[in-house]
Amino acid sequence: MFFVLAALAVIGAVSLILQKHPIHSALSLIVVMVALAGLYLLMGAEFVAAVQIIVYGGAIMVLFVFVIMLLNAGAEERTSLSKMAGPPGLLLVAALAAFVAATIAKSGASVQAAAQTGALSSTRGISEMVFKDFVYPFELTSFLILVAILGATVLAQREKS
């Protein structure tokens, strides 16, 4: 199951890159997110999975699609620079991914040692953490959202002229 979902995610990511049209990219990104949600479920993080789909899938990506529709964005045109940017970028990224993977894997081994996979009732536990240990960050994020709302409103409104 893991490999199915992982493959799905990777394919989605790749197609996000290869697709010319933003809305296709958006769709492939949605695929990635759903796959990730599946992975979360697999790891027993049900709540996070649900939130992942609701917020990412249901809100953020909808917003993207919405904006794409609104701006009626066409397929992107290639330019010499971007052609040029391809191979070296690929190299860089390969290196980056390799390093990240290797580094974390190295540490991951020790983590594995420390891991006792106990089934934790995630939702309740999460709620308790959020509202006990992380209550101030939580409040801060709510404030952040408020700011974001205001910012978006201000940005998107047309100047009355």
Partner 1 sequence: MHFLFATRDELFIAIAKIAVLLFIVLTVNAYLTWFERKVVAHIQSRWGPYRVGPHGLFQPLADGVKFFFKEDPTPSGVDRFVYYLAPLLALGLALTSIAIIPFGPEPLRLFGHDIYLGIAPPNLNIGILALFAITALGVYGVALAGWASNSKYPLLGGLRSSAQMVSYELTLTMSVVGVLLMAGSFNLRDIINAQAPLAGHPDRGMIAWNIWPQILGFFCFFTAAVAETNRVPFDLPEAEQELVAGFNTEYASFKFAMFFIAEYTSMITVSCLCTIMFFGGWLSPFPASWTLTHYLPSVILIPFGLWVILDGFRYETTLGRLVLPAVGTVITALGLVFIVFPQVNAFIQPPFWFISKVLLFLFVYVWMRGTLPRFRYDQLMAFGWKLLLPVSIMNVAITSFVILAKMQWGAK
Partner 2 sequence: MSAYPMLEYLWVVPLLPLLGSAINGILGAKWPNKIVNIAAIGSTGLSFLCALEAAREFFDSGQALFRREFFTWITAGNFRAGFDLQVDQLTVVMVLVVTGVGWLIHIYSTGYMAHEGGYYRFFSYLNLFMFFMLILVLAANYVLLFVGWEGVGLSSYLLIGFWFLKKSATDAGKKAFIVNRIGDFGFMLGMFLLFRAFGTLDFQTLFSKAGSWPAEPMGHFGTFTAACLLLFMGAAGKSAQLPLYVWLPDAMEGPTPVSALIHAATMVTAGVYVVARSHLLFSHSPTAMLVVAIVGCATAFFAATIGLVQTDIKKVLAYSTVSQLGYMFLACGVGAFTAGIFHLMTHAFFKALLFLAAGSVIHAMGGEQEMPKMGGLGKKIRWTYYTMLTATLAIAGAPLFAGFFSKDAILFATFQSPTGGRILYAFGLLTALLTAFYMFRLIFLTFTGRPRYDEDRVHVHESPWSMLGPLVVLAVLSVIGGWFALPTFYQGPDYFANFLGPVLGAREAVEAGAEAAAHGLELILAGVAVAAATIGFIVAYRLYVSRPRRADELAQSMKRAYTILLNKYYVDELYAAAVVRPLLWLSTNVFWKAADVAGIDGTVNGIAHGAATIGDGLRHSQSGNTRSYAVWVVAGAIVVLAVIFFWPMASKIAVGLVR
Partner 3 sequence: MVPTNYYVILSAILFGLGVFAFIFKRNIIAIFMSIELMLNAVNLAFVAFSQALSKLDGQVFVLFVIVVAAAEAAVGLGIIILIARNRETLNVERVDLLKL
Site for partner 1 in 22-41 (CB under 8 A): 23-24, 27, 30, 34, 37-38, 41
Token pair of 112 as six digits: 């594995």
Spatial contact of 29 and 12, defined as CB atoms under 8 Å apart: yes
The yes or no reply on residue 161 touching partner 3 (CB under 8 A) is no
Q: By CB under 8 A, what part of segment 72-91 binds partner 2?
A: 81, 85, 88-89
**Which residue of 4, 69, 73, 84 would you call a contact of partner 3, by CB under 8 A?**
73
Angle, helices 2-18 vs 22-42, to 10°: value is 160
| Interface pick for partner 2 out of 43, 54, 86, 103 (rule CB under 8 A) | 103
Q: How far is CA 38 from CA 6, 50, 78, 116, 119, in A?
A: 9, 9, 35, 22, 17
Residues 68-97 interacting with partner 1 (rule: CB under 8 A): 68-70
Binder among 31, 50, 57, 126 for partner 3 (CB under 8 A) = 126
Q: Should residue 65 be labelled a site residue for partner 1 when binding is judged by CB under 8 A?
A: yes
3-state secondary structure of 117: coil
Structure tokens at 61: 């990506």
Of the candidate residues 14, 58, 137, 147, the single one contacting partner 1 (CB under 8 A): 58
Residue 10 to residue 94: CA distance in whole angstroms: 14
Residue 67, binding choice from partner 2, partner 1, partner 3, none, Cβ under 5 to 8 Å by partner class: partner 3
The answer to the question of residue 69 lying near partner 2 (CB under 8 A) is: no
99 lies in the binding site for partner 1 (CB under 8 A): no
Between CA 6 and CA 4 the distance in angstroms is 5
